[in-house]
A and B are shown apart, each in its own frame.
Chain A
Amino acid sequence: MKRNLPKKTRLITLVLTSMVTVAVLGGCSGSGGAEESDTASASNAPQDANAAPAEQPVQTEPLKIVRRSLGTRENGTDNQKVLDIIEQQSGIKLEAEVIPRDVYPDKINLLLASGEKFDFIEGQLVSWTALKDKGSLMPLNDLIDQYGPNIQKYMKDALEVMKDKDGVIWGIPRQESFPTGYAPTIRKDWLDALGMEMPHTMAEFEAYMDAVKKTDLNKNGKHDEIPLLHSWNLNGLIQIFQPYFMGDESTRYLKGDEVIPAVSAPGYKEMLTTFRNWYAKGYILKDFATINTNQITDLVLADRVGAYSGWFNSMVGNQIKLNEKNPNVAYDPLPPLEDAPATGTPAWGSNPKYSSTLLIPSTSKNAAFLIKYLDWTLASPDNVMLTWNGIEGENWEWVDKSKNTFTLLENASERYAGYYNLADFFDPAIWPTYVPADYDKPGKIEYRMRDIYKDYKFVEPFDAAIPFTLTGTPAENLTGDGATKIAESQIQYIIGAIDEAGWDKAVEDYMKIEGDILTEVWTKQYQEFKGIK
């Protein structure tokens, strides 16, 4: 006797199966549409950047901006309003696709690899030299000549940084607002409590650290004070102190007309030895290699940290919090130490003045409009302010228009956070300067710090503007083994797991694995570059 499924079960099975089928088919039907739009756009006359200037190209689709997310400020309520005004005034349409910041380079690589057509890449989050070597970027010389008079006017020097050795421009540069990044800050109130002056030499700085280790400055009955804390693991120390020991802040070192890896250059070992002594004396944490940002914040807020070495304004937020309980707490800038060894210079390190900010993929169809948009932005400070900070009177207002200074209205950055500002170029000739308002406590502290920093000496990496590339050179196939060797040997040397001979051997091995090849390649490219200049 064949048992049939009861009617109810059959009905349910039918419904569920059709639901699933619909879901699957619904997904597949989109493919037809996608093909259509592809053919449609292909049949449009391509926006020929080399067309005779008299023929003004017309924008048929909005610029596809792939940018990193600004977090919660993505949902600025004024974003659409500002966009409308921008489109109205510039005549150019934009559309943004947003990617979470930590996966930005991965997604960009994926989009490029799959042949996606889009128009904008954030230059600061990817390596433009690597992308250009792969053929992923569009050269901009002609576009700038045709559509970028303002770009040429303001970025004349800056553009040199984005050129390769043949003079091809691969992206739009950014100008730093402030010629520094890396400098230590020190607890001024603790200096006062110890009766010490602001250190001006390494000896004085070390004396301070020693005193911090031995004195109960936070008055909690425990000797838990930490003389020096730093960010980004070992890099937080190296980037800050390298100029003092070596005169420059880079992984490369200029020795006469030769470019060698910094680890084999004079001063590097001395720097590591100094850190090794600090570790042995307890001036830096025993677990400096694994500590992360949150733990650093916790330690600072626990009122335990005597000096911090990292990005210059890292302690501003923490200071404000500590001030809630103790208004005397102040992390003040530490001046460059004057007793630098012969191999070094009394200075802190700085970000290069110019770096890349905007790149255009080679697959872009609307590159001309992006350049036009950029050019329009630079046409007047008002345009800059619109894209960068929003609507005058609602988000910001001039403090002194003749001096090009402005201030932000309260909560303005919640409502519009520079969503459509595609390229920072803090040249006072065109870019207005921010003056912190009274409600902006962190801004005021930072402003004061910058005032102090402007008198300090900073060195920029010498190789920032040189288009080094490994593609097509004997160094093309190097793997990460050299970097691994150095990374682990450095730390082992500092924590005392290997001795000086061990470090020397490590450098020797490194030079054999990749150092010698790199020296050859870099020197050749450097000399070519200088030869042209």
Chain B
Amino acid sequence: MNTIAAPSRKRSIGTARRKAATWIWKYRYLHALALPCMLYFLIFKYLPMYGIVIAFKDYKGMGGFEGIVHSDWAGMKNFNLFFHSIYFWRLLRNTLVLSLYLLIFAFPAPIILALLINEARGRWFKKVVQSISYMPHFLSWVVCAGLVLQLLTPTGGPVNALMELMGKEPVAFTSDPAYFRLILVVTNIWKEVGWGTIIYLAAMASIDPELYEAAAMDGARKWQKMFYITLPGIKEIVAIMLILGMGDILDGHFEQVFNLYSPAVYDVADNFDTYVYRQGLVEAKFAYSSAVGLFKSAVALALVVLANRAAKRLGSDGLW
């Protein structure tokens, strides 16, 4: 078709329609597969989203759907209450510091463990190690916290017993702000490192075995194989996990902290999640906790977007 003269309007609508039709037809299988799934997101995720307005209202927690719609607008009142708390900066600081520590220590741990397991000899040995390493993941934090408290108690706990043997005074570790974050990080690693290896091992399993064989034939040593094949092979998954981890940066690890902390360590341990929990104990401050949740989500999303851009620039596929 000649494009010297601009096509007439009538013809371009027809073209557009035909283009749309071909486009729908071309990808018809993908559309069909995607449709029920996106329907799920529409119904169960997007329909209830009107609830976000609760954060901006004086919602009392009564009256069903009408109750939400007809509550008075409170503007930023709930957010202001939140930002003006004398503890706001402390809560923010504690949340970020814990996340930072976890990022530095707890994020690489499963990767390292996965590499070690991958390099280990003996099929049966590997299976057993894997199975055992998952076990702490299945214990709830209520149990784990209980175990930790028993281990560290100055009243007859083994750690303190050891210290006494060495001539030192017993220390109440879990009530001591100097040790508390360390305890949080170490217990987190212990509980989740095994489970975290699953996804990295799966990624390692997807690496083409021929790459290893070819490298072996070229004379590559164990180290070289690990650095030049295995690590790059899981690069994408590490990137994704890191990006998603960015979104968790304001996550307060409620179950863990709540079961281990006490007012003695509020200064280093109290974060948004535990604070809001104490606030809303029986009186269901829906609006207030909704506002805090919204704030956290907004910041988390912003961080994920940044992380995604950075990852893409470094060559990854990113999240989107």
Known: A105-B282, A479-B81, A484-B278. A289 touches B62 (CB 8 A): no
Contact between chains at B175 and A484 (CB < 8 Å): no
Which 3 pairs across A and B sit closest by C-beta, in order of nearness? Answer: A115-B64, A109-B284, A289-B262
Nearest CB of B to A501, in Å: 18
Contact with B along A84-122 (1 / 0, CB 8 A): 000000000000000000000110010011110000000
Known: A290-B260, A479-B85. A126 touches B282 (CB 8 A): yes
Contact between chains at B282 and A299 (CB < 8 Å): no
In the bound complex, residues from chain B placing their C-beta under 8 Å from that of A49 are: none
| A490 interfacial contact with B, CB 8 Å | yes
A135's closest neighbor in chain B, by CB? B62
Q: List 28 A-B contacts (CB under 8 A).
A: A109-B61, A112-B61, A113-B64, A115-B62, A115-B63, A127-B283, A130-B283, A135-B62, A233-B262, A286-B155, A287-B153, A287-B154, A289-B262, A289-B263, A290-B174, A290-B260, A291-B153, A295-B146, A295-B149, A479-B81, A480-B278, A481-B85, A483-B278, A484-B263, A484-B266, A491-B175, A492-B263, A513-B86
A106 to B275, CA, bound (A): 17
B274's closest neighbor in chain A, by CB? A484
In the bound complex, residues from chain B placing their C-beta under 8 Å from that of A112 are: 61-62
| B186 interfacial contact with A, CB 8 Å | no
A482's closest neighbor in chain B, by CB? B86
Contact between chains at A488 and B264 (CB < 8 Å): yes
Nearest CB of A to B250, in Å: 19
Known: A287-B154, A488-B263, A497-B264. A115 touches B67 (CB 8 A): yes
Contact between chains at A491 and B263 (CB < 8 Å): yes
B residues 273-305 touching A (CB-CB < 8 Å): 275, 278-279, 282-284, 286
A290 to B151, CA, bound (A): 13
| A350 interfacial contact with B, CB 8 Å | no
Nearest CB of A to B88, in Å: 9
| B270 interfacial contact with A, CB 8 Å | yes
Contact between chains at A479 and B263 (CB < 8 Å): no
In the bound complex, residues from chain B placing their C-beta under 8 Å from that of A483 are: 278
B91's closest neighbor in chain A, by CB? A484
Binding site for B on A (CB under 8 A): 105-106, 109, 112-115, 126-127, 130, 134-136, 224, 226, 233-234, 285-287, 289-292, 294-295, 299, 477, 479-481, 483-485, 487-488, 490-492, 495, 497, 513
Contact with A along B164-181 (1 / 0, CB 8 A): 000000101011000000
A291 to B172, CA, bound (A): 11
A488 to B278, CA, bound (A): 13
Contact between chains at B284 and A285 (CB < 8 Å): no
Contact between chains at A130 and B282 (CB < 8 Å): yes
A110's closest neighbor in chain B, by CB? B284
Contact between chains at A290 and B170 (CB < 8 Å): no
A252 to B139, CA, bound (A): 41
Contact between chains at B278 and A290 (CB < 8 Å): no
B residues 154-210 touching A (CB-CB < 8 Å): 154-156, 170, 172, 174-175
Nearest CB of B to A137, in Å: 10
In the bound complex, residues from chain B placing their C-beta under 8 Å from that of A109 are: 61, 284, 286
In the bound complex, residues from chain A placing their C-beta under 8 Å from that of B153 are: 287, 291, 295
A295 to B156, CA, bound (A): 11
| B225 interfacial contact with A, CB 8 Å | no
A234 to B174, CA, bound (A): 16
Contact between chains at A287 and B172 (CB < 8 Å): yes
In the bound complex, residues from chain A placing their C-beta under 8 Å from that of B283 are: 127, 130
Contact between chains at A287 and B175 (CB < 8 Å): yes
Contact between chains at A487 and B266 (CB < 8 Å): yes
A480 to B82, CA, bound (A): 10
A286 to B262, CA, bound (A): 13
Known: A127-B283, A488-B264. A290 touches B64 (CB 8 A): no
Contact between chains at A481 and B63 (CB < 8 Å): no
In the bound complex, residues from chain A placing their C-beta under 8 Å from that of B279 are: 479-480
| B309 interfacial contact with A, CB 8 Å | no
A286 to B264, CA, bound (A): 12
Nearest CB of B to A282, in Å: 10
Known: A109-B284, A484-B87. A290 touches B63 (CB 8 A): no
A294 to B260, CA, bound (A): 15
Nearest CB of A to B290, in Å: 12
Known: A130-B282, A490-B263, A492-B264. A135 touches B175 (CB 8 A): no
Contact between chains at A491 and B146 (CB < 8 Å): no
Q: Which of A113, A291, A492, A513 contacts B62 (CB 8 A)?
A: A113
B residues 58-103 touching A (CB-CB < 8 Å): 60-67, 77, 81, 85-87
A226 to B154, CA, bound (A): 12
Nearest CB of A to B171, in Å: 8
Q: 9 additional contacts, CB 8 Å, given A109-B61, A290-B175? A: A115-B65, A135-B62, A136-B62, A295-B146, A299-B155, A477-B81, A481-B87, A484-B275, A488-B264
